[in-house]
Amino acid sequence: MKKIKINPTDIFKKPYIISEVGVNHEGDLDKAKQMIEEVANAGGDAVKFQAYKAETLASKYSPAYWDTEKEKTKSQYELFKKHDTFWKSEFEELADYCKEYDVDFLATPFDIESTDFLEPLMPSYKIASADITNKPFLEYIALKGKPILLSTGASTISEIWRAVEWIKNKGNSQIVLLHCVLNYPTDYKDANLGMINHMKEIFSDFVIGYSDHTLPEYTNDVLTTAWHLGAMVLEKHYTWNKKLPGNDHYHAMDYNDLKSFVEKIELNREILGQFNKNYLESEENSRKYARRSLVAKKSIPKGKIIEKKDITWKRPGTGIPPWMMGHLIGGKALEDIKEDEILKFDKIKFTD
């Protein structure tokens, strides 16, 4: 991918934000292009589509696994058949359009044919959670030699490791693992963003990300929390109109959601700043004038041996610091020192 390094140590650099259009274009090329423009203008990094044909994806007898109150279609085959009109020529056109707007074009392939024609169009491959056990398909994609973003919804740790090994055994270790919950939509209580921490620990050699299916009401909070936990790639369904009927519109973000989230990320990056603790150049005056120095509590004549009762500490911090008080007591005044005068090294002879 051109805008994110495959480096699991770059935790708090700007996350790579994928707007998952999927099939929310509903076969309308102009709408697909409109969403590319919106994502680019809002500050997203990639626009992702889905490339499939119903006949090669699902049996005609495959039941629904989504909320049928929101999406009435009760057969996977029937739903996929509604939205499988885009193919090679349409995706080539959309990839070119993404170039015009300087966003990455991505599309999830669901068969060998789409895997092949998408290869020259994309910087990386996205693999759906449902294919995490599809060894021949994972191996085929791995041989393309491009980074792989693998969603891990509905998976166990052992299933994820097995998929990772299949990919690595084909010479490809450029893997991003996305925490994901395979519910459409995902209840907030089921998001389990804390699993990101576990994935970072278990899969420490790989980039960890998050693919979100929660409702868009709290998108900023959900995605920002995932990023703060270490998700460097963030994927969220995208639509031009959240009020449209259908499986993916109502739990997607729109232009305003994405723009607001990107702005929040920028603010967070500014607030987070650097990670090595030190004082800032802008704090230099504070170091000098807000800290304390040892100060003469009363007049101290030249030659007097300084006692504890002779000194106190006050601002500014331009004189002898209070931590040296023990060295100062028992020392000798080399000059007359006025009451409330800030004590300096050149006026005191310190004890050994």
Asked whether residue 159 carries a pLDDT value surpassing 80, the answer given is yes
Do the Cβ atoms of 222 and 42 come closer than 8 Å? no
Asked whether residue 314 carries a pLDDT value surpassing 50, the answer given is yes
Residue from 324, 318, 314, 325 nearest 344 by CA: 318
Q: Report pLDDT for 10.
A: 52
On average, the pLDDT of the chain sits at 92
Burial tier of 126 (Cβ tally within 10 Å: 0-12, 13-18, 19+):
buried
Task: Band the pLDDT of 74: cuts 50, 70, 90.
Answer: confident
Asked whether residue 68 carries a pLDDT value surpassing 60, the answer given is yes
Mean pLDDT of 240-268: 92
Q: Report pLDDT for 11.
A: 45
For residue 235, report the phi and psi dihedrals to the nearest 5 degrees: -120, 135
What structural domains and CATH numbers belong to the chain? 16-272 (3.20.20.70), 282-349 (3.90.1210.10)
- pTM (two decimals): 0.86
| Cα distances (Å, whole numbers) of residue 199 to 173, 176, 204, 229 | 16, 11, 8, 11
Task: Band the pLDDT of 121: cuts 50, 70, 90.
Answer: very high
Mean pLDDT of 177-201: 96
Task: Give me the helix-helix angle, 88-100 and 29-42, nearest 10°.
Answer: 30
Asked whether residue 351 carries a pLDDT value surpassing 90, the answer given is no
H-helix or E-strand spanning residue 55 = helix 54-57
